[in-house]
Amino acid sequence: MAWYKDWFGEEYLELYSHRGESEAGEHVDFVERYLGDRGEPRPRAVLDLACGAGRHTAALRQRGYRTLGLDLSLTLLARMLARGLPRVSGDMRLLPFTACCFDWVLNFFTSFGYFERERENFLVLEEIARVLSPGGRFLIDLMNPGPALASLEPRDSQELDGGGRAESERWYDPASHRINKRIVVSVPGEPARTFFESVRIYQPEEVVIGLRWAGLEVSSLFGNFHGDPYERDSERLIIIGFKPA
């Protein structure tokens, strides 16, 4: 089974519980500042692509944006259901929407680069272009390769609620340009469970070229959600652009 079909469950939610509502609010502040402040009407529809448990969907809807979350994980979508958030189950490579139906498509927290074949990853960009309306805006939030590799911790452990523990091992594969992670979750009285993450890391030029092939234009690169310009040693690689009218 592909790692992304197995990993995004209750264990994932607990391991990344520090990524919360406050952080999502800061991200939406950034979105409003750099996508929304153009003297244009508010977007008619926003897609939170690979929405997880819906923290960005919730933050956007709290500010009046008509936002829909899409994710492959039924576990994470069930969390959205419990909160009454609009959600759809779907694959990023073949979005279940008609063409030109969103004015914004937002992709947070390194959710691009999951697939082993590059053609599959760039299908995601083509799908973003297809569902965006002419003049529509997009955001893609990625790891910045240099700092991500420099700070890569080979091993760490984390205490979980209920007395469990997650042991993580990380490594970089230069042949595939992927950061891989093996997570072993141990809970007293239960067999240990092993999960994987594997994400392709991209140089800015690679993604910009892929976006242009897909029919999208890049307008800005940022290095963090404070709005600082992108540098090779920036915290993040945040790409903002548009679909030509």
Q: Where are the beta strands (DSSP E) in 7-150?
A: 46-49, 67-71, 87-89, 102-107, 132-143
Q: Could you give the CA distance from residue 211 to residue 67 in angstroms, rounded to a whole number? A: 23
> Quick one: pLDDT at residue 41?
86
SS3 category, 157: strand
Lowest mean pLDDT among 3-7, 58-62, 93-97, 114-118: 3-7
pLDDT at residue number 13 = 85
Average pLDDT over the chain reads: 95
How much is the pLDDT for 19?
66
Mapped onto helix, strand or coil, the DSSP state of residue 162 is: helix
* 168: its two tokens: 């993580």
pLDDT at 14: 82
The whole-model pTM stands at: 0.96
C-alpha 166/C-alpha 160 separation (Å) is 7
pLDDT at 15: 81
* Burial class, 95, CB count within 10 angstroms (exposed 0-12 / middle 13-18 / buried 19+): buried
Mean pLDDT of 16-35: 88
According to the model, what pLDDT value does residue 21 have? 83
Higher local confidence (pLDDT), 50 or 187: 50
The confidence score (pLDDT) of residue 38 equals: 66
- Could you report the per-residue pLDDT of 133-162, keeping only the tens digit for each? 999 999 999 999 999 999 999 999 998 877
pLDDT band (50, 70, 90) for residue 109: very high
- Could you tell me the CA-to-CA distances from 100 to 30, 47, 136, 178, 179 in Å, in that order? 24, 12, 9, 32, 33
